[in-house]
Amino acid sequence: MAYETLLVETDGGIAVVTLNRPNVLNALNGRLVEELSDAVAGFRDDDAVKVVVITGAGEKAFAAGADIGELAAAAGVAAVDLAKRGQRLTLDLERLGKPVIAAVNGFALGGGCELAMACTLRVAADTAVFGQPEVNLGVIPGYGGTQRLARLVGKGRAMELILTGRNVKADEALAMGLVNRVVPAAELMDAVRKLAGILMQKGPVALRLSMEAIHGGFDMSLEEALNWEANLFGVCSSTEDTNEGLVAFLEKRKPDFKGR
C-alpha cells in the first residue's frame, strides 16, 4: 500500500518503516499516526514480516514531536481524542507480537520519544537526542510518555526529564536505560539489520510469549507475575517450535522454527 507520510520496504523478513515528513522533522500529524497504525495492523497478520524497524527520513530527526498546528487546535474533548489516538498506536506497537526496533537517527522528542519508547528495542545513532519537552509548550506528554519513561528509566529520572523538559544526548540516554545501544550514525541501519537478523533466528512463538510475559507481568505482584510466566511457559512448551528447538539442540543443528 502506498502511504503519504510513510515509506515501507519489506525484505528478508524485515519491514523497514520510514517516517517521511523530513521538511517538518517527521512530526507526527494525524495522517502519519493513522497510516502508521494501518501499517502496524498489516504487519500483525503478515507471516512474512518477522521484525519491524521504524526510523525517520533525513539525517536530522527520527520524529521531533507532534504536529504543533494540530496540537494548538485541540482542547478539551478534542485533546483527549488526540491523545488516545496516539496511545492506541503505541499500544499496538508494544503488543504487536513481533519485535519492533526503533532506529533513532536524530531528534526523538515529544511524540517521537514516545513512539520510540513503545518499540521493543531502541538503537540510537550517536547523534540522537531524546526528550519530553511538552512542558515548554504548557502541555504534558500525551502518547504514553509519563508512563513508559518512568518504567524505562525510573520515576525519579522521569520526573526530572518531564518536569524540566530537558533533552538528553544518546550517551546519557544509554546510561539511564532509555536506549539499548548507541552506534555511529553512519552504521545505524547496518547495526539494526544485524540485530533484526539475530532476532529472526529465534522462535517466533517464544519471542511473542516472552514479550507478553514481560509486558503483562510488569505491574503485577511478584507472585502473580510468576504465575503468569508459568502459564505462558506451559503454552510455549506445547508448540511445534519448542519441540523443534529441543530436538535441534540434541541433534547439534540449527532449529527450523515455523512459528507454531
Strand partners, 124: 104, 182
Q: 165: helix, coil or strand? A: coil
Residue tagged 506497537 (cell numbers) = 93
Output helix, strand, coil percentages for the chain, rounded to the nearest 5: 50, 15, 30
The reply to whether 172 belongs to the active site is no
Residue of 34, 59, 114, 229 marked catalytic: 114
CB 236 within 8 A of CB 206: yes
114 is catalytic: yes
Catalytic entry in 9, 70, 134, 212: 134
C-alpha cell at 109: 522528542
Q: Which CA distances in Å does 208 have to 13, 96, 214, 221, 238?
A: 16, 8, 10, 22, 15
CB 117 within 8 A of CB 94: no
Q: What is the DSSP letter of 20?
A: -
Query: Rounded to an integer, what distance in angstroms lies between the CA atom of residue 140 and that of residue 177?
Result: 22
Helices (H), 46-125: 68-73, 77-94, 111-118
Catalytic residues: 114, 134
